[in-house]
Amino acid sequence: MAVARIDLKALRFNLDRIRELAPGMRVMAVVKADGYGHGLERVARALAAADAFGVAAIADGLRLRAAGHHNRIVVLSGPDSAADLSEMHRLRLEAVIHHPQQLIWLQEDRGTPQLRVWLKIDTGMHRLGFPPERAQSVYRQLQAMSSVHPEIVVCTHFAASDEFNNPLTRQQIETFTQVTGGWSGEQSLANSAAFLGWPEARKGWLRIGGLLYGLTVAAGHTGEEYGFRPAMRLHTRLLAVNQIGKGERIGYAASWVCPENMPVGVAAIGYGDGYPRAAPSGTPVRVAGVEVPLIGRVSMDLITLDLRAVPDARIGDEVLLWGPELPVERIAEQVGSIAYELTCGVTRRVLAVENGR
């Protein structure tokens, strides 16, 4: 059985490191997508010192309240319908407001207590948010609504903050600054990537997701390079060690040919567990502490490994797919993805075990 060991101490360490690097800033711990695949409730318990939690859905807010958390909780896409507002009032959730239809629902809302809102301005990503020319009028409109808490946070989202030389991020920061100049409300610009590459975006509220899990999406880099600790260690065991002859083919589609007589390992993990099917031959895996290449296609339950570097490998030896000794960013690069997708993709079939309570 595949096991994902979640290091709670690493989560707390990473939150402390954010505070160390940005003293005086408020930290929203983004725990959407089941805590980036690490488990919503366990992540929230480890990060209880955060100033707020960021979630993608009201259902996640319900889970956090049911687990006893009293932190501020921000629904990052806001209400999807007028009916959502009553649940947000009941659970004391906060809403990111980004669309004119949401203003109509808020205008008609009579719920209590007052709803805390985050006004999103589209400074260049063109996904969610009000255009800059409308931002001031929307801000005043929200201030005038009796159902809205008077303390409004103004935010934006960057399109390319993981590209530290891309001028778009600086343009977005300048647009945001021009639009909000003179406003009294709190601000939120930086996500994890912007936190690393754009210090001028560290204002007010920091919305930190990947870095809390020790992950980065900066190409060619790992979270550890920036002083953060990976919180997930995904591993399994060797099920078999087979001696395969020169010229024999391995796995589905017989896509990999043995260049010599060699030992081939079979490990108990596959795309049914969330290990990426797109991982090509040569993707690094560690067997008994030694790095070896994956060979052949990833199947639903199994992978095959070139064990020539560990000729003494035996059934039951540990197989590490990613973790502190093998950064998940390296695997993501092999499959043309990002670390976030890989950790979020770990399925319920994998046994989650907590370390460092």
Q: How much of the chain exceeds pLDDT 70, in percent?
A: 100
Stretch 15-34: mean pLDDT, rounded? 97
Main-chain dihedrals φ then ψ at residue 328, nearest 5 degrees: -60, -25
Confidence of residue 184 (pLDDT cuts 50, 70, 90): confident
Say whether 226 is catalytic. Answer: no
Say whether 246 is catalytic. Answer: no
Using alpha carbons, select from 198, 209, 121 the residue that is nearest to residue 162: 198
pLDDT in tens, 229-262: 999 999 999 999 999 999 999 999 999 999 999 9
Is the pLDDT at 357 greater than 90? The verdict is no
**How much is the pLDDT for 228?**
98
CA–CA gap between residue 74 and residue 239 (Å, rounded): 44
Q: Which of 32, 213, 271, 340 is catalytic?
A: 32
Residue 249: other Cβ atoms inside 10 A: 12
Fold of 232-355: Lyase, Ornithine Decarboxylase; Chain A, domain 1 (2.40.37)
Q: Token digits for 55?
A: 């979630």
CA–CA gap between residue 134 and residue 157 (Å, rounded): 17
Spans of all domains in the chain: 8-217, 232-355
pLDDT in tens, 260-318: 999 999 999 999 999 999 999 999 999 999 999 999 999 999 999 999 999 999 999 99
Q: Which of 246, 252, 271, 340 is catalytic?
A: 252
* Contact in structure between 334 and 289 (CB atoms under 8 Å): no
Same fold, 8-217 and 232-355: no
Q: What's the whole-model pTM score? A: 0.96
* Contact in structure between 36 and 65 (CB atoms under 8 Å): no
DSSP annotation of 218: S
Q: Which CATH superfamily is domain 8-217 in?
A: Alanine racemase (3.20.20.10)
CA 302 to chain centre: 26
Torsion of CA 167, 173, 175, 177, to 10 degrees: -150
